Amino acid sequence: MTRISAFGDDALGTHDAVGLVDALRAGEVSATELVEAAIARTEAVDPQLNGLVHEAFDHARRRAGVPRPYGGYFDGVPSFIKDNVAVQGWPTMQGTDAWQPRPMRADGAFTRAFLSTGLIPLGKTQMSEFGFNAVAEHPRLGPVRNPWNPEYTAGASSSGSGAFVAAGVVPIAHANDGGGSIRIPAACNGLVGLKPTRGRLPWDGEHAQMPLHIVENGVVSRTVRDTAAFLREAERAFRNPKLPAIGDVTHPGEERLRIALCTKSVVSEASPEMRELTLKTAALLEELGHKVTEIENPVTPRFKDDFLLYWSFLAFATVRGGRRAKGPSFDRTKLDNLTLGLDRIAARNLHKVPVAIARLAASGRITARLSDTYDAVLMPTLSDATPRIGHLDPTAPYEQIMDRLIDWVAFTPLQNATGDPAISLPLAQSASGLPVGMMFSTVRGQEARLLGLAYELEEAHPFPRIAV
C-alpha cells in the first residue's frame, strides 16, 4: 500500500492549525512561509490526489503578505474552501460541468464567517456533483483519491478537503454536511469531522432556501483542538442566540456519560467488521468510566424513504431550476446519472414530498426522547469499510449507484434530519489498512459535550497519521 504524504521539513512541518498559530505568534514562521509551503505541498500531491478544483495561489500570497487583514485567531494559517459556497471573484461549480464558470460577485454568509477566523484559502476543493454522492469521481476531472491508499475513495462530498488535510497539505479545511459529507470523508481519511447543530453556522443562499435545512457547514481537521478552536472562532463571527454557546473547549470532559450503542441502521446491520470495531470502541469507553448500553435503532424504516424523497426533491429543484439559477449556459445533459436519477424519482413522487418533509422535521422527537436516558449515541460512521474507486461511479446506472449508496451511507443522514450535532473520530482501522470512523451524536446545541468526549478519546487512543 503506497500512501501519499505531503508532510515535510518546511514551515508547516507536522503541526496542526493551533500549533501553527503558536509558531506564528512566537515568530518562528511567517504567514508567507506557511502559504508558500502549502502551495508547494498542493503542487506535489494534487496530481495524485486530484482534490483541487479552483486554484487561487496568488490570492493567498497577497493575503499572507498583508499583516493581519482580518485579525482572526488563525490569521496566516493556509486552508481550502469546498466548491459549494460563494467566494468573491471565484466560480462556484458545485462539482458539476453543467454551466459555464463565472466569478461570484460577493462572499457568501458562511465564507465571511470562515474568513473572519483568519484562515487563508488557497482555492477550492473538488466535491461530488451537488454533494449528492458519497464519493467524488468526476467524469472529466477524475476521482479524488484517498491518501492512505489511492486505489480507494476519499469519501464525499467534502472529498478534496478530506484528502488534502489527511495528506498534510493543510491542517484544516472547510467541509459541509447534508447527509454525512463532513463525517464520511473524515471517516475515510482518518480525520475529525463534526457536523454542527442546525443553524450553528450561517448558510449560503441555496442552502438557506431549503424547506428543511439539512446542510451544515464546518471543517475537517487532524486534531480535536483544531475543530474546537474553529467553532470557537466562528461563533465569535456568527452567534445563533437560539443555541447554547459552544465556548472554548480545550480539554476532556469530566462527566461520565450514558452512551447508547447501535450498530444497526434503518437499512440493515453494519458489516461484521464495522460491528466488531464499534464494540471495541464501546469497550474503550467503558474502560474510561462511561456506561455503554446496546440498543435497537429507534428510527422507523420509513425514514430511509422520506430522506431519499427529500434528497430527490433537492435534485429536482436543482435540475428544473438550473437555467433560472445558473443562466442560459445550463445544460442538463452534462449532469451525472445520480443527479438525473434523483430528479426522475422526485418528478414521479412530488405529491409525497410535503408529508416526507413533515416527518423528517419531526424526527428530532425520536432523539429528544432518547436523550432522557442517554447522553450520547455511538454508531459506526459508515456501514462498511471504505470502497475502491469505481464502486460508486456516478456514470453507472442510477439503480446500481443508489443501492450501493444506501447500503454504505446508512447511519449519517439521521442527524441531518434532526438537526443534532454528530462527530466522526478515527478510532479504528479496517483490514485493508484504511482508517475507520466512529460516530458520536447528541442532542441539539451540545457540541461541547461531543468535543469533551473527543478530547478524551484522542488522548486514550491517539489517532493514526500518514507517515512523514
| Residues that are catalytic | 82, 157, 181
**Closest Cα partner for 315 from 289, 335, 295?**
335
Distance (Å, rounded) from C-alpha 376 to C-alpha 373? 9
Q: Hey, what long-range contacts does 329-333 have (CB within 8 A, 24 or more apart)?
A: 329/99, 329/100, 330/98, 330/99, 331/98, 331/99, 332/98
Quickly list DSSP for 355-375: HHHHHHHTTHHHHHHHTTT-S
Distance (Å, rounded) from C-alpha 237 to C-alpha 215? 19
| Residue 120 CB-half CA count within 13 A | 31
Distance (Å, rounded) from C-alpha 342 to C-alpha 131? 12
Strand order in the sheet with 52-55: 52-55, 120-125, 78-82
DSSP lists the bridge partners of residue 429 as: 435
Please give the radius of gyration of the chain, using alpha carbons only, rounded to the nearest integer: 20
- How many CB atoms are located within 10 Å of the residue 459 CB? 12
| Residue 171 CB-half CA count within 13 A | 27
**Closest Cα partner for 177 from 408, 399, 15, 409?**
409
Whose grid coordinates read 500570497?
Answer: 61
**Closest Cα partner for 42 from 54, 28, 29?**
54
Whose grid coordinates read 442566540?
Answer: 241
Enclosing H/E stretch for 143: strand 142-143
Name residues whose C-beta falls within 8 Å of residue 400's C-beta, 6 or more positions apart in sequence. Answer: none
Mapped onto helix, strand or coil, the DSSP state of residue 196 is coil
Report the sign of the C-alpha dihedral through residues 336, 184, 158, 49, in that order: negative
Q: What are the backbone angles phi and psi of residue 143, rounded to the nearest 5°?
A: -80, 150
Report the sign of the C-alpha dihedral through residues 192, 198, 203, 208, in that order: positive
**Closest Cα partner for 222 from 147, 288, 274, 128?**
147
